[in-house]
Copies of this chain bind each other. A is one copy, B any other.
Amino acid sequence: MQKYFIAPEQFGEQHIQITGSDAHHIVNVMRAKPGATVIVSDGASREAKAMIERCENGAVEARIVELLAADREPAVLVSVAQSLPKGDKMELIIQKCTEIGAARFIPFVSERTIVQYDQKKEAKRLERWGKIAKEAAEQSHRNRVPAIDSTVSWKALTEHYSEYDLVLLCYEDEVGTLLRDVLEPFHRTFHSKAQQSQQEARILVIIGPEGGFSLREVEAAVEAGARCVSLGRRILRAETAGMAACTCIMYQFGELGGV
């Protein structure tokens, strides 16, 4: 069943209203008729199965037939900080990491970022990325749409490390410390603490540009508290590293085919 995120004010007691591109999707792509059911979410606590009653003037009205309580959000909040990659790779990263379970995306510019950052295009780009995150969250039946931050500098990113319980810098030249060397003990320690506090682990994963990080950047990151980790002996493309790291974290935390 297709899922749609709607604004909280469109989520009534017994009826819900779907407008905009989602209504277009229901009517013209899914070709749904009155009587068909969809899943709707307000992106926070409410989720329901609803039966379509009317499709008129670009809006779809549906009646709630069942309130759902399925929580499909992982118990670990993974933020993916990604140096702006070439072409439309950021779209692939956002789509795939949203399915896998990422909570937030932070694009950044570092020394070797190839793409010329264009402030004027920022609003349009954020809108497009937000749309991709929303669609991927709907498709994978998530309860929340990941947030997408404005592009920041390497320095600004560093200043936000303190908001996280763990900061992982995926570094091609790291050989001593593998991702699991850090992730496993962190998970163990956090898990035993979390049983008292019910808090979700907040992890920041940092992925560099095609040309990697400069030594100066790595030193500054470590100084600020980041842990350098290797993703193994095969060199992953910039857009693959984020998906792989996200997947490993979810697996370690029992959130992707794990317990």
Nearest opposing residue in chain B for A257, CB measure: B179
Q: Give the chain B neighbours of A99 by CB distance below 8 A.
A: 234-237, 240
A234's partner among B142, B179, B244 (CB-CB below 8 A) is: B142
Most B CB atoms within 10 A — which of A142, A231, A257? A257
Assembly stoichiometry (copies): 2
**Contact segment of A126-134, A196-204, A247-255:** A247-255
Q: Give the chain B neighbours of A232 by CB distance below 8 A.
A: 101, 250, 255-258
B180 near A233 with CB under 8 A, answer no
Query: In whole angstroms, what is the CA distance A180 to B251 when docked?
Result: 8
Query: In whole angstroms, what is the CA distance A74 to B233 when docked?
Result: 9
Nearest opposing residue in chain B for A243, CB measure: B243
A235 near B178 with CB under 8 A, answer no
Query: In whole angstroms, what is the CA distance A96 to B244 when docked?
Result: 10
A236's partner among B100, B230, B258, B259 (CB-CB below 8 A) is: B100
A247's partner among B180, B244, B254 (CB-CB below 8 A) is: B244
Q: How distant is A101 from chain B, measured CB to nearest CB, in Å?
A: 6
Interface string of A107-122 (1 = CB under 8 A from B): 0000000000000000
A141 within 8 Å of B (CB atoms): yes
Nearest opposing residue in chain B for A181, CB measure: B259
Q: How distant is A92 from chain B, measured CB to nearest CB, in Å?
A: 8
Q: How distant is A183 from chain B, measured CB to nearest CB, in Å?
A: 8
A158 within 8 Å of B (CB atoms): no
23 contacting pairs across A/B (C-beta < 8 A) = A70-B233, A99-B236, A99-B240, A100-B244, A101-B234, A139-B237, A140-B234, A140-B237, A141-B233, A178-B258, A179-B256, A180-B254, A180-B257, A180-B258, A229-B257, A231-B257, A232-B250, A232-B255, A244-B247, A247-B251, A248-B256, A248-B257, A251-B252
